[in-house]
Amino acid sequence: MANDASLIMMENIPFLLKETELLRLLHLDDSFAFLDDILRLAREAEALARPKGFYVLSAVEHTGDDTVTLNDIIFTSRVLRVNLDGVYRAFPFLATCGGELELWTRSLDDPMQSFCGDALKEMALRQAIEALGAHLMGTYDTGELAMMNPGSLSDWPITEQKPLFSLFGDAAEAIGVTLSESCLMSPIKSVSGVWFPTQKGFVNCRLCRRENCPNRRTPYDSHLFESHYQ
């Protein structure tokens, strides 16, 4: 496991059912004929879910134009390296909806129930990320944080999951997350990445060309890479 003194693990993050958010994710409103069935299923998930996650305090060392080292693990990304200029500590992290909810959704064979289960896992993951981020900011007084995630940009491909999980040691397994040979995580509703303090702000979406992305937070900026990262 990563150095215990630098790792903060949260294994029992509360999952609070937010009915309005669930209906938004399902593209439903309170006039839906089977709303009671959906909410009954959601309350079952609320009782079972155990979102989890951890973050690791990591020393930053700039080792090249397109590489940066976190806790002696080398990462290759021009954007990550530039984003960490002037930063001496960063926080690699992993968050998951939890294996309990993943196993529960595998038992759902009705398409509508499966769709609902997927939305509930997404909600649990978001709450895990929020809890980790709040704990991190409160513990280290970081000010504003930004994040980067392997696979979200061509500059930092999904194969960079391998060095990230190498940094995690056996902490990922401790919260039930595994990485496949193709660098996909299980449970699928899991997120890994690096948080870092920023005064300028950063959102992956501004460098991402993908159109019609349901998770897009801000428009693509066609000039940002050339002006800031080349």
Q: 138 and 184 in contact (C-beta within 8 Å)?
A: no
Mean pLDDT value of segment 9-30: 93
- Local structure of residue 186 (DSSP, 8 states): E
pLDDT at residue 200, rounded to an integer: 74
Domain boundaries, the chain: 4-229
Q: pLDDT exceeding 70 applies to what percent of the chain?
A: 85
Q: 216 and 205 in contact (C-beta within 8 Å)?
A: yes
Side-chain-facing half-sphere of 3: CA atoms under 13 Å: 10
Residues near 167 by beta carbon (within 8 Å), at least 6 away in sequence: 2, 56, 58, 70, 71, 73, 92
Mean pLDDT value of segment 202-224: 64
**pLDDT tens per residue across span 138-173:** 999 998 899 999 998 889 999 999 999 999 999 999
Mean pLDDT value of segment 67-86: 93
pTM of the model: 0.90
For residue 188, the one-letter residue type is: I
Cα–Cα distance, 129 to 109 (Å, whole number): 28
Is residue 222 very low, low, confident or very high in pLDDT (cuts 50, 70, 90)? low
How big is the CA angle at 139 (ends 99 and 2), to the nearest 5 degrees?
50
Residue 219, pLDDT > 90, answer: no
The CATH code for residues 4-229 is 3.40.109.40
Mean pLDDT value of segment 187-198: 95
Mean pLDDT value of segment 71-83: 93
Residue 99, pLDDT > 80, answer: yes
pLDDT at residue 63, rounded to an integer: 83
* Sequential DSSP letters for 116-177: HHHHHHHHHHHHHHHHHHHHHHHHH---SEEEE-TTSBTTB-GGGHHHHHHHHTTHHHHTT-
